[in-house]
Structure 1
Amino acid sequence: MTSYGYHVIASSAAAVVARVCTHPLDTLKTRLQVANEPIHFRTLPETYAKFIRTNSIASLYRGLPVSLVFSVPALSIYLSCYDITSGYLDKSTSLSRNHSTNHLLSGFVAEIFASLAFTPMEVMKNQLQTTKQSESTLSLASRIWRVEGLPGFFRGYTMSLAVFVPYTMTYFAVYEKLKSYMAQHYLSSPLNTPVKTDSMVSQLPFAAYMASSTIACAIGITISTPLDIVKTRWQISFSEQGTAYKGGPVYIIKQMWQQGGYRAFSRGMLTRICWGIPSTAISMTIYESIKDWYAMEHQNH
């Protein structure tokens, strides 16, 4: 199997495991972001408890099927584009794989292409997660197609780029720096085998990938949460067909400020961090581990 084939397998496995494990937190995060009433409960356990009292446990998994269908190709595009762009810049320019600008540009390219798959997923997933009435994915897709046509599935694509391009660029810049730092310390130990820090494969321990991803994700989420809330509200406005649907993101921002001030733009941030960290850490750790395994097998043959 080619290197690209292993990239697809690695990213697909990462997408499925991460999505299944963290989807309930994603549902809670989405519900909190679109809620208009003040939040009177302070802790995450209290938030969960209130949600379970007023909803079924099954409702935590609304939107999971469409998430799995889209997240596999989306994450494959995302991670493959990042690695391919990073490799191209390394070979064709003066920007080595360890250069911060390489990480920023590779993340930028990856997000632009991956959002073409992530955006339809977010549009349908968010509406399924926030509606009180059960609706099938096929029924929702048919309704969006009848009312808005193909553009309806890409509602918020520009907003998604505004949210996730800064997130992705921040994430990979921090992630790669931390990974390089850990590789240097791993190299210095006499008990460990050499680590190729200048190549795509670093063959770091499982925990190193997990720690690097966790820190990078927390920083990226903190930066991108305000616009993510606006994006989510804009994407679900189709179901309501109200003033937010007609007014667009600018109206939503004004409405949020009037209703909750600056606090409205951090609504659900803790839940988003609690969802994003395991989701990203699982994805990247599985992806990097499978890549490392392929590289070792390839070197042995």
Structure 2
Amino acid sequence: MDVQTLLASCYASIFSRLICYPLDTIAIQHASSTRRPIFSVPLRTYYRGLLPSTVLVTPAISVYLTIYRQSKASLIPHFGDTTTTYLLAGTTAELASSFVWTPLEVIKSRLQISSTSKEGSLSENLKDIWRTEGIRGFYRGYLLGLVVFIPYNGIWWTVYEHTKKAAPRDWAISSQAALGGCVATMTSVCCCHPLDLIKTRYQVATTATVGRVGGERLEDARGITKVVRNVWGEKRFGLGFYKGLGARLVYATPSSLISMAVFEYFSPDRTAEMALSGSLQDGGLEEERL
């Protein structure tokens, strides 16, 4: 286990979450159609769930980034520092960490759309999910999450790595990472937002907050197909699938910029150089044997 990478991923998660959490809350409320006028509630409302979210999500991000780095290092000798490596490493990291991610996403989303202090309580949400849906409730939208995030991660890491390569060589590695994070996030969010919106709506469909919205939103709990039909009917030409896209970009872009800049600052990515160095050494040893 690469301790430096593990610690750097923790720092990245904590820094970005502390700074950008209110924007994430607004984005979740947009996607779930539970948003309220921004200044109609106290600022602290937008930090509801920050502590449990930080405590719970940070280990998941650490696992994810560490597995990506290790997968990339293992794949480079076979596929080189190429798009194939980025796609496979990103997919591996998502598959390995998604079992941890899904329950955290379900809980975090419910905390962020809550409209009362009771609904915003971590313990109350845990009890409610367990009482009404059991263990399956914590994995609500798990398969849909894989459908969303496997392509999302493939696109994200491919764009990120190529953008870093294209950045001026005289830039600090943290600046290259910040640029890569921005471009990768804008690209992947725009491509995958409709699927992410459906997933979010389905994960929060059984909450009391959504119940108060009423109408067709009550039918979201019946299944993903019903969510898709409801979203399609909310705006002409299927534009409902891009509801909250602006809010998502406003949150995700600076969050990604901060997290990747911090991550690469504390743990610069040298996997390609190390793999190349290792292959050259192996080649030298082969020549000596000959």
TM-score under structure 1 length normalisation: 0.81
Deviations 1:138-173 (A, max 9, x none): 121122112222221111111111111111110100
Q: Which runs of no fewer than 5 residues in structure 1 stay unpaired?
A: 38-46, 187-191, 193-202, 296-301
Q: 2 CA distance for matches of 1:67 and 1:169? A: 25
Q: 1 CA distance for matches of 2:53 and 2:101? A: 9
Single out whichever of 169-178 and 116-125 deviates more from structure 2. Answer: 116-125
**C-alpha contact 2:34 2:113 (8 A) present in aligned 1:** no
**C-alpha contact 1:179 1:209 (8 A) present in aligned 2:** yes
Q: Secondary structure at the match of 2:115?
A: coil
Deviation of 1:133 (Å) = 1.6
Counterpart in the other structure of 2:56: 70
Q: 1:10-89 counterparts in 2 under 5 A?
A: 10-35=8-33, 50-52=37-39, 54-89=40-75
Q: 1 CA distance for matches of 2:255 and 2:142? A: 21
> Which of 254, 258, 262 is the equivalent residue of 1:282?
258
> Which of 162, 167, 187 is the equivalent residue of 2:147?
162
Corresponding letter in the other structure for 1:8: L
Q: 2 CA distance for matches of 1:57 and 1:137? A: 19
Deviation of 1:293 (Å) = 9.7
**C-alpha contact 2:13 2:259 (8 A) present in aligned 1:** yes
Counterpart in the other structure of 1:267: 243
**C-alpha contact 1:70 1:117 (8 A) present in aligned 2:** no
Q: 1 CA distance for matches of 2:142 and 2:123? A: 21
**C-alpha contact 1:33 1:232 (8 A) present in aligned 2:** yes
* 1:253 maps to 2:251: no
Corresponding letter in the other structure for 2:45: S
Q: 2 CA distance for matches of 1:140 and 1:269? A: 27
Q: 1 CA distance for matches of 2:253 and 2:269? A: 24
Closer, same or farther: CA 109–294 of 1 in aligned 2, 3 Å:
closer
Q: 1 CA distance for matches of 2:268 and 2:201? A: 39
Deviation of 1:294 (Å) = 10
- Number of equivalent positions: 260
Q: 1 CA distance for matches of 2:192 and 2:126? A: 28
Counterpart in the other structure of 2:278: none
Corresponding letter in the other structure for 2:243: R
Q: 1 CA distance for matches of 2:259 and 2:34? A: 32
Q: Secondary structure at the match of 1:133?
A: coil
Counterpart in the other structure of 2:199: 231
> Which of 90, 107, 119 is the equivalent residue of 1:124?
107
Deviations 1:81-112 (A, max 9, x none): 11111111123x2x11x210000011011111
TM-score under structure 2 length normalisation: 0.84
Q: Percent identity at matched positions? A: 29
Q: 2 CA distance for matches of 1:288 and 1:170? A: 19
Deviation of 1:134 (Å) = 1.6
Deviation of 1:121 (Å) = 1.5
Closer, same or farther: CA 114–60 of 1 in aligned 2, 3 Å:
same
Counterpart in the other structure of 1:44: none
Q: 2 CA distance for matches of 1:204 and 1:176? A: 15
Note the aligned Cα RMSD (angstroms). Answer: 2.1
**C-alpha contact 2:174 2:265 (8 A) present in aligned 1:** yes
